[in-house]
Amino acid sequence: MKKKISKKLFALFAVAAVCVPLAACSGSGTGGSDTTTAETESSHVSENTESASGATEASAETTASGEGSTESASADTQTTSSTEISGHTPLDNASVKSADLQIDIEGYQIYPAGVGGAANSPKPVVVFYYDVTNLGDKETDALSAWTELFDAYQNTGDNDRNILGQGVFVDESISADQGKTVLKKGDKISYYKSYELTDDTTSVTLRSHDGLGGAALCDDIIVRVQS
């Protein structure tokens, strides 16, 4: 009887000894699995957050780059729309002298309609910049002196002299008073004269004369309109 009880107790202890480690292993395995899963999910969240942050920064950089490109394009457009011919085109042997006046043409510029000083002109203009010296006793001014010595033509036909009229042009760097300043003998001043062009392809001819209707003072001065 005692042997049977001892065997039963021994069997119970054996079962308990086996179950306890198994339960511990099972519990440890479950806890480890949960921990690993949590760490994995945390890692995914962190990676997704960093990825989203990187995408946001990249988007911001792209936007900034796009804004920069737009500003650059705008600046280019403004630069292009306000472009003028840089500096005067010089003229060789462009000094004309009469008994009373001497005009030295420093150069010329062609302005498209609506550009720069020709902003209010419906047509392109040619502008001549010159120095005038009064050699005689008669008082004059820069504009009167030019008219006394020059006419401008744009010969658009074989028999068409096509004299040019005053251009709509203002050079804000030169005071308008300079054109009307009274010049006595020996006085010298700089100014400009503009003409409205018939077209933007035909060359312009400056024809000199000794006073209105007078004899020519020099050969015709031919000015190219197209570059």
User: In which band, very low, low, confident or very high, does the pLDDT at 124 lie, cut at 50, 70 and 90?
Assistant: very high
Q: Determine the pLDDT at residue 207.
A: 92
Q: Is residue 56's pLDDT more than 90?
A: no
Q: Is residue 20's pLDDT more than 50?
A: no
Q: Domain 95-223's class?
A: mainly beta
Q: Is residue 181's pLDDT more than 80?
A: yes
Check if the beta carbon of residue 121 is closer than 8 Å to that of residue 171. no
d(CA 125, CA 110): 6
Q: Is residue 17's pLDDT more than 50?
A: no
**Top-confidence residue, 42 or 168:** 168
If you count DSSP H runs as helices and E runs as strands, how many of each does the chain have, helices first? 3, 7
Distances (CA, A) of 160 to 96, 155, 157, 163: 25, 6, 5, 9
Q: Is residue 217's pLDDT more than 80?
A: yes
Instruction: State both tokens at 49.
Output: 């957050």
User: In which band, very low, low, confident or very high, does the pLDDT at 227 lie, cut at 50, 70 and 90?
Assistant: low
Listed range (42-46, 79-83, 86-90, 106-110) with the worst mean pLDDT:
79-83
Q: What residue segments make up the domains of the chain, in order of their start?
A: 1-83, 95-223
Rounded percentage of the chain residues whose pLDDT exceeds 70 = 59
Read off the pLDDT of residues 60-77 as tens digits, 9 standing for 90 and up: 444 444 444 434 333 332
Q: Determine the pLDDT at residue 140.
A: 97
Q: Which helix (H) or strand (E) holds 67?
A: helix 2-81
Average pLDDT over residues 132-155: 96
Average pLDDT over residues 189-203: 94
Report the mean per-residue pLDDT for the chain.
73
